[in-house]
Amino acid sequence: MTTTTQISQEQQVTTGATIWLTGLPSAGKTTIAYELAGQLRDEGHRVEVLDGDEIREFLSSGLGFSREDRDTNVQRIGFLAELLSRNGVKALVPVIAPYADSREAVRKRHRTGGTPYLEVHVATPVEVCSVRDVKGLYAKQAAGEISGLTGVDDPYEEPASPDLRIESHTQSVQESAAALHALLTERGLA
C-alpha cells in the first residue's frame, strides 16, 4: 500500500545535481538543506544530504583543519557529490568550504562531467552565527579553547557570484528553502 507521500520508482525524478551550500559555522546551511531535501523527496526526487560533520566523521576522520586538510576534505565531498549527481541524485552539500579555489575546483569537476552544480551562499553575518552557535564553537573560540574558527580567526572567502545568496537571518528556514527550490525550478532541476 502506498501513501500520497510515497512515490513509485516510475514516478521518481532522476535529474541529478549538486547544490553546495557554503557559509560560516551556524549560518543555517544544514537546516536549509534538510528542509529542502524533504520537499524534493515529496516531489519524487532522489536526494542525499552530504552533511559536512558526517563526512568528517566517516570519510575524512584523519584530516585536521589546516588549509591543505580543508581543501582535501572539500575535494572528497565534491567527488562524492558529483558521483551521486551524475547518477540522478540531488546532492545537497551543506559544507563551509571556506576557500574560493577549493569551491571552484569542485565546480570545474562538475562542469567537466556535464553535471549540474549550483553554489548557494548562506550569507549569515558572523555576529548572528555566534549567537546561534549551534555547536558551541564560537564560545570555545572566545574562551581560547579552540583556534582556527572559520570567519573568526581563520579566513572565509565569500563567493563572488553564487547562483543564489540566502540571508537566513532575515527569513525563515521555510522561506530560505523555498528560494532555493525556486532556483532549482528555474534551472529545470525541480
Q: What pLDDT shows up at residue 53?
A: 87
Q: Is the predicted pLDDT of residue 12 greater than 80, yes or no?
A: no
Residue ranges at the known binding site for ATP: 23-30
Q: Please enumerate, by residue number, every residue annotated as part of a binding site.
A: 23-30
Question: How far apart (Å, rounded) are the C-alpha atoms in residues 152 and 138?
Answer: 8
**What's the pLDDT tens digit per position in 44-64?**
999 999 998 899 888 888 898
pLDDT at 116 over 90: yes
- The C-alpha atoms of residue 159 and residue 89 are separated, in whole angstroms, by 24
Residue 13: pLDDT band by 50, 70, 90 thresholds?
A: low
How many whole angstroms from its chain centre is CA 2?
Answer: 31
pLDDT at 8 over 70: no
Listed in sequence order, the residues at least 6 apart from 187 whose beta carbon sits closer than 8 Å to its beta carbon are 116, 118
The reported pTM is 0.90
Give whole-number Cα distances, 100 to 69, 82, 104, 134, in Å. 15, 18, 6, 24
In this predicted structure, what is the pLDDT of residue 165?
98
- What residues form DSSP beta bridges with 48? 91
Confidence bin at 9 (pLDDT 50/70/90): very low
What is the structure's pLDDT at 14?
75
> What is the C-alpha to C-alpha distance for residues 84 and 121, in angstroms, rounded to an integer?
21
- Taking only the tens place, the pLDDT of each residue in 134-149 is 999 999 999 999 988 9
The answer, yes or no, to whether residue 1 has pLDDT greater than 80, is: no
164, 177 Cβ separation under 8 angstroms: no
**All 3 cell numbers of residue 50?**
552530504
Q: Do 37 and 84 contact (CB within 8 A), yes or no?
A: no
Calculate mean pLDDT across residues 117-133. 96
